[in-house]
Amino acid sequence: MLHREKKGVNRQNILVFIIGFFGLIGFLAPFSHVVFNKTNIEGIFGFSKMSSFLFAVGFPILAINAGFILDITSRSIMDKHLSKILLRVSFLFYFVGLFFLTWALAPSIPEDFPPFVYYFSMIIISLFFLQVIHKATRYINNLNEKISALILLCHLRKRGQNILMNDSKHLILPI
């Protein structure tokens, strides 16, 4: 007879929640402009209407969220080769999303510089934010692992099992 484990908060449940949350945001972002289609709400960042602004940032947000989901997923896969490929593809999604998000948020300035200066600037800004997002994703993943370890520790203490820690502060669990 199979025994079902209690459904608790563990690393997988946290990952499922994070991926679902960002997946939902990514799914809804390209359609967010529809709500403002028949309104005359003033836009921001040089856009005349809010609907045109949301249309311009919707797909970049989708790409960034897809990159985030692939990044998180790549860190959860045991196969190193597949993990590296997913991580590289996530960087491509990040870059494309950040490039077009930068384009949408950059104020529309009259042509005071040649176009290549603007494109070069957008590439540099996208690469910078790519690094920021990569570090933030690593931080979230490490935080997720720490939370999972704390939950496991609390669960084991509830059961009255002894837990030891070695010099490098890693848990030594009894078998």
pLDDT (0 to 100) of residue 165 = 54
Note the pLDDT tens digit of each residue in 86-115.
Answer: 888 888 888 888 888 888 887 665 566 677
The residue among 60 and 172 whose pLDDT is bigger is 60
pLDDT (0 to 100) of residue 58 = 87
Q: Could you tell me how many helices (H) and strands (E) the chain has, helices first? A: 4, 2
Task: Kindly report the pTM of this predicted structure.
Answer: 0.62
Q: 96 phi and psi, to 5 degrees?
A: -65, -45
* Alpha-carbon gap, residue 70 to 81, rounded angstroms: 14
DSSP string, 36-92: GTT---B-STT-SBHHHHHHHHHHHHHHHHHHHHHHHHHTT-S-HHHHHHHHHHHHH
pLDDT (0 to 100) of residue 138 = 80
pLDDT (0 to 100) of residue 1 = 36
